[in-house]
Structure 1
Amino acid sequence: MQKNDFTEFSEMLDAIWSLKGPVPTASQKAMFFRVLAEYPLNEVRAGLDAHVKDPIRGKFLPMPADVIAQIKGIVSEDGRPGAEEAWAMAVRARDEAVTIVWTAEMSEAMGVCQPLVQAGDDVGARMAFKEAYTRLVAQARESRIPPEWVVSLGHDAAGRDSVLLPHVQAGRLSADVLSVPQIGLGQVLALPAPADATPKNLALRAQALQRLAELRDEIAAQHDIGFSNDAERERLQALKAEAQRRVDEYAKEAA
């Protein structure tokens, strides 16, 4: 925080302390500000808010140590995996055919332990990786550097999307990295039948698709001619509900 943040900081502290009793004195505020000065005002605000919401600590007035603990807890929830999970993800880089997704800290830590990996010392490599990774993550968090997820493509092109898709779904990567675009329900319904489909199933599927098309056309026609009365409006709503029910059924089957 900067000196010009003191007034806003003081108001925040007064607001919290007033929940329990008298506001802090000028000297108490000055001490608070001095201890927390290394943190940006927005992080201090978030730390104070988190303290108030804490079901255990929030029962008591916040001390500087409480605010610092809350700030560190917030910063640590940045999406970076723990050391064990990071090792499990990074160790797959030994196979050049495999596609992996990792952070800069994971990549650098893997470089540190690479000589041990090449020597076949998996235990030593894991320990060296975890030590380096923990240190690098702590430094990045201290500098408030957000995690950056990058892709290292392996030689096996067929297996890439199965690795990338979970990271796309988690919001770590853009869908642009996928070689096969994700398809919607309409495309699922248009896919060819599986090899073990029976004639009866194919006939039922064709009938259902035809009925869905008829419902769609009826709804479109109603939009074109407008509503003549409440009965027509209710009929259209019923048609919409029926169409949605059919679509939902096929969505479940496709899943």
Structure 2
Amino acid sequence: MNSFERMAPDQIARLSLAITATAEVLGQTITSEAAEMMAGDLADYPVEAVSGALKACRRELTGKLTLAAVLQRVQAADGRPGKDEAWSIALTAGDESETVVMTAEIRQAMVAAQPILSRRDVVGARMAFNSAYERLVSAARAEAKPTTWSVSLGLDPARRVTAIESAVRMQLITLQAGTQYLADLRIAPITTDGQAIAGLITGSTAEPSPHLREKLAEVRQIVDAAKARQKREQLKKAQADRVDTYLRKRKFRAAIAAAQRKEASHG
């Protein structure tokens, strides 16, 4: 069942106009009925994802605009890893000391691969994993299911906080979820060093040992640098989006004007 909220009628109507305008930009004319039908088929996906897919189509397509082309770009932007990256994540999860953040499809595909992997047949396990993973991803995308990430906790407390902080920074899980993973009684740190490590996420303070203090300083430097880089990228993206929005609106108005002139000439 679709886990996204279906677009409202007014959103579908605007999407239909955007589809018509995108087709015009690509040198194609489609009927309002066809545009409305495409909009209805795309209405089960998030507005932002569909808008981004149409933008990608305007930039990338050299032929006609099709529903398949839009869907391909909508689904490719859902955040699910490719099969090679997914297999790498699955292998990492086999190390009990590692904390791994994975999607529901990776977790399920691991079930198919684990019996083969336990026989030390890595090649066979990878084939089984890839087959199951691609099938699961295709089914999830066909049902417009959003990508869900969860944390598989490892035994190493330092690696826990590094993996969870990274997942929060990449917006795979929320800050609240990351804090909860560390605050949960099942993984509550019982040593001073453990409390200091958890404090990186929770904001609590504890005096670490000199050795750990040096390591935490290195981690904070990495985190601060990553946050600064992310901020620069966000500013750059915001500026690019403003330019793209201006150009898209101008093309949209031009396409509508052209469509109106065409209708007038045939009137």
TM-score, reference length from structure 2: 0.54
Question: Pick from 46, 57, 60: which aligns with 1:51?
Answer: 57
**How far off is 1:11 after superposition?**
3.7
Distance 2:118 2:50 in 1: 45
Q: How many residues align?
A: 188
- 2:57 pairs with 1:39: no
Q: Please say if residues 23 and 65 of structure 2, whose CA atoms lie closer than 8 Å, have aligned partners that are also in contact.
A: no
Gap change, CA 1:165 and 1:123, over 3 Å in 2 = same
Structure with higher RCO (Cα < 8 A, 6+ apart): 2
Which residue is equivalent to 2:244?
none
Gap change, CA 1:106 and 1:34, over 3 Å in 2 = same
Gap change, CA 1:77 and 1:45, over 3 Å in 2 = closer
Gap change, CA 1:10 and 1:112, over 3 Å in 2 = closer
**How far off is 1:10 after superposition?**
5.2
Which runs of structure 1 show a deviation greater than 3 angstroms over 4 or more consecutive aligned residues? 4-21, 31-37, 41-50, 95-98, 155-159, 190-195
**How far off is 1:149 after superposition?**
1.1
**How far off is 1:38 after superposition?**
2.5
Question: Pick from 170, 181, 187: which aligns with 2:199?
Answer: 181
Q: Which has the greater radius of gyration?
A: 1
SS in 2 for 1:181: helix
Gap change, CA 1:158 and 1:77, over 3 Å in 2 = same
Write the deviation string for residues 178-221 of structure 1: whole angstroms up to 9, x where unpaired. 4612289xx8xx989779x9xxxxxxxxxxxxxxxxxxxxxxxx
Q: C-alpha root-mean-square deviation of aligned residues, in Å?
A: 4.2
Superposition map of 1:1-255 within 5 A: 8=14, 11-16=17-22, 24=29, 28-34=31-37, 37-40=40-43, 42=47, 46-52=52-58, 54=59, 56-57=60-61, 63-65=64-66, 67-173=67-173, 174-176=177-179, 177-178=181-182, 180-182=198-200
Gap change, CA 1:97 and 1:183, over 3 Å in 2 = closer
Distance 2:201 2:165 in 1: 13
Which residue is equivalent to 1:246?
none
Q: Please say if residues 36 and 68 of structure 1, whose CA atoms lie closer than 8 Å, have aligned partners that are also in contact.
A: no
Gap change, CA 1:8 and 1:85, over 3 Å in 2 = closer
Amino acid of the structure 1 residue aligned with 2:90? A
Write the deviation string for residues 147-171 of structure 1: whole angstroms up to 9, x where unpaired. 1111122334453223323212212
Distance 1:109 1:97 in 2: 21
**How far off is 1:47 after superposition?**
4.0
TM-score, reference length from structure 1: 0.57
Q: Please say if residues 113 and 125 of structure 1, whose CA atoms lie closer than 8 Å, have aligned partners that are also in contact.
A: yes
Amino acid of the structure 2 residue aligned with 1:75? Q
**How far off is 1:48 after superposition?**
3.6
Q: Please say if residues 105 and 136 of structure 1, whose CA atoms lie closer than 8 Å, have aligned partners that are also in contact.
A: yes
Amino acid of the structure 1 residue aligned with 2:162? S
Unpaired segments of 5 or more residues in structure 1?
198-250
Worse-matched range after superposition: 30-39 or 100-109: 30-39
SS in 1 for 2:160: helix
